Amino acid sequence: SDSFALKVIQNSKEVLSLLQEKNPAFKPVLAVIQAGEDNLMQEINQKLAEEAGLNITHICLPADSSEDEIIDEILKINEDSRVHGLALQISETSFSSKILHALKPEKDVDGVTDVNLGKLVRGDAHDCFVSPVARAVIELLEKSGVNLDGRKILVIGAHGSLEATLQCLFQRKGSMTMSSQWKAPQLQSKLHEADVVIFGSPKPEEVPLSWIQQGTAVLNCSHDFLSGKWLQIGCQATENNRSNWSSLWVQQNMVGSGRRWLREQQYRRWKLHCLKLQPLSPVPSDIEISRAQTPKAVDVLAKEIGLLEDEIEIYGRSKAKVRLSLLERLKDQADGKYVLVAGITPTPLGEGKSTVTIGLVQAMTAHLNVNSFACLRQPSQGPTFGVKGGAAGGGYAQVIPMEEFNLHLTGDIHAITAANNLLAAAIDTRILHENTQTDKALYNRLVPSVNGIREFSKIQLARLKKLGINKTDPSALTEDEMRKFARLDIDPATITWQRVLDTNDRFLRKITLGRGTQRKAQFDIAVASEIMAVLALTDSLKDMKERLGRMVVASDKNGQPVTADDLGVTGALTVLMKDAIKPNLMQTLEGTPVFVHAGPFANIAHGNSSVLADKIALKLVGEEGFVVTEAGFGADIGMEKFFNIKCRASGLVPNVVVLVATVRALKMHGGGPSVTAGVPLKKEYTEENLQLVADGCCNLKKQIQIAQLFGVPVVVALNVFKTDTRAEIDLVCELAKQAGAFDAVPCYHWSVGGKGSVDLAWAVSEAAHKGSRFQFLYDVQLPIVEKIRTIAQAVYGARDIELSSEAQSKIDRYTEQGFGNLPICMAKTHLSLSHQPDKKGVPKDFILPITDVRASIGAGFIYPLVGTMSTMPGLPTRPCFYDIDLDTETEQVQGLF
């Protein structure tokens, strides 16, 4: 018996060792819910778990625990992704159907749920958990030399799953089985017939052993057996010195559970139920298309793409947040291919990068059966209610429900607004109190005595350390140290931190703060907040907290930077942002997954969705899958910042650039008339004009060359409009390939959905397998001026740069403060390669003026201003809100886009 037990343990260890070769951190965890004190079983389980290399946790409940109390514990274990198996050590009478239904079959290592029993009866024993007690009974009988083939087996006093499992296992061994309860009138005659007798519950005293024939094998598998009390073979009572055999099989089941769990974490093709499209012609409005499709419940989508129940937080029916714990669970998983969608220099109408992104993933997943994820920015309410409208894609390639995508989503922008304005309030409040209090009064209020105890908070201790004061007792500081600690001495003229709100309001561009002591300030739109840029570039909660703390809000009167950490507000900012850091899961019109997360201002910040969304998506799609993310504005802005800023922060290497072009934009670059939002297009754009197209392809060629500077293959996606002719389409694709594009493909997703971008999906897949020779444009250790010059000359095509005196002094200050080794985030117009919006095509021989230079130290970049940059848009004469309404009967949003 002992040698067999050692063999079982050794087998478990070997299997576990093989699993851990590819997953070193993996260790299966067994949870045991135990009602009543049974120290012996705890010791047996603990010892065996240690021998086999498993972790075990005991949840000990009182013996008289109610059904609901036991179920509460079961439900907690069900949702705990760290636990791979659950065993119940409760009395037979406690195994109610309600408790059995609460158990997750995939964690039921006792093999008591209907799913596991059903699979066993059906013959799928390899795909289910079998009762460890029943397996131990079979093993004990066979190891004792009992031949089961053709024998009559009598199971007495067993109930439910144990009785059913014993009958099934004995029948597989060729035995004839009978069942009986202890009080059955035919019990004596059945005992006389039996070759083997199994006690499923303790034998009553009124049943004499003389009823059992000599030579009959008798085995007790009741709770007495589990507790190690006795075993009988051939009616000779013997001590069961290896009474933990059932525990051995629990360990075997646990290893099987762990193996299955790991298999489920590995790359696999999603079994995704894609939603069917029925495109109409003419194509209806975006909101009509969105509303005509019924999205899947987001928890169903989450399960389809491999998310566990405890890894999502559901917001309503069609959106959810994904927890960052997923990255730890899938850390050994290979990443998928990484695709960036950028564009040529656009018209003010935009050329459909979001639409191409959505069309591409719909094509890949719904039509080519390839795992793919789209990662998009969250739109600001400013443009939504202003002039641009929604940003969920368009036509039959969009994120649904579009009204939820465009309005509030899960409150991330509101969280950023709250955090940003808390920091702004902290700055002005600190200046006020420092101006109106003595050093001593200020210090005493900053470090008060509470219930007779006076101590520094955690963030105050960090400030002391920064000041070089190695003391932890508030009363031990000298007067000079108290003054240093208490006074930030902010110079109001250097404050760079502004208040924000997510509404276009030009009247808040310049404001006056305060009544007594006044200062000039302004409001920015919320997505221009540095906190939004921090959210987009962070890779963990810890990293986000550190970045928030590093944010520089002003300089002190000695020219030293003042940070959020100095103001003591970092912890509070992190609390406000703790949910916003989790990416938002939504879906496309064809039911494929989308992450919508972060929306940094594409001029002032880097204009890309979050690093975290990309990282999580790359794990979820698996090695053969694709993550398609979008960069803001033209390739000269969004793509350059994606490579030089986002890729530095994430460490991710892009495989392909999809460069979006339209015939409309190319005609504009070829000398066509100006394009203005809200004004009908001139005939040059609605009628065939090959010369304008050919002339305008200079901009396309330049943007292809910019991507090639980074060593990434380019696929041109021509977003086709109904007015484009076949000759124009063919000309663009031919010229794009001549300019060095890997391929150039016309796309029709707007009118027919993913089916219209299948050719693009094939081209992207081929380019991705070609291999990327990715490289950064510049070394961050170069001086700030040289990095700016490199971007201006290599990317924009400028002859040189020209720094204003203010820009030069800011560069000198940031270099002196130790921020010179940060990447550059150029803030310039997106409507031209140059700084002049009306200069189309490929401007040459121009000097790029740098009017100012600012720093986002928490986000981790320096941003030079090229010309005048507004961080607070204004509303037009007729904003979009004129058309937006709510049907008060159906609660449907109308006129959004």
Catalytic positions: 353, 355, 377, 388, 602, 633, 721, 750
Q: Among all chains, which residue has been given the structure tokens 């439910």?
A: 160
Strands (E), 377-458: 393-394, 397-400, 449-450, 453-454
Alpha-carbon distance of 749 to 359, in angstroms, equals 5
Alpha-carbon distance of 203 to 218, in angstroms, equals 12
* Ramachandran bin of 457, using left for φ above 0, alpha for ψ from -120 to 50, beta for the remaining angles: beta
Using H for helix, E for strand and C for coil, what is the string for 786-810?
A: HHHHHHHHHHHCCCEEEECHHHHHH
CA distances from 126 to 67, 256, 541 (A): 31, 10, 41
| Nearby residues of 679 by Cβ (< 8 Å), 6 or more positions away | none
Question: Residues, the chain, total?
Answer: 897
For residue 438, what are its two tokens? 């003595």
Q: Among all chains, which residue has been given the structure tokens 């890729």?
A: 647
Buried residues in 68-106 as b, exposed as e (16+ CB within 10 A):
eebbebbeebbebbebbbbbbbbeeeebeeebbebbbbb
For residue 2, what are its two tokens? 């002992």
The answer to whether the CB of 148 falls within 8 A of the CB of 175 is yes
DSSP H or E run through 434: helix 412-436
For residue 689, give the 3-state DSSP assignment. Answer: coil
The answer to whether the CB of 35 falls within 8 A of the CB of 62 is yes
Alpha-carbon distance of 579 to 583, in angstroms, equals 9
Query: Among 631, 601, 625, 621, which residue's Cα sits nearest to residue 376?
Result: 631
The answer to whether the CB of 83 falls within 8 A of the CB of 107 is yes
Alpha-carbon distance of 641 to 36, in angstroms, equals 62
The four Cα atoms 862, 867, 870, 874 give a dihedral, to 10 degrees, of -160
| Nearby residues of 618 by Cβ (< 8 Å), 6 or more positions away | 335, 336, 338, 373, 627, 652
For residue 342, give the 3-state DSSP assignment. Answer: strand
DSSP H or E run through 238: strand 236-238
Return the number of other C-beta atoms located less than 10 Å from residue 597's C-beta.
30
| Nearby residues of 470 by Cβ (< 8 Å), 6 or more positions away | 464
Q: In 3-state terms, the chain is what percent helix, strand and coil (to 5)?
A: 45, 15, 40
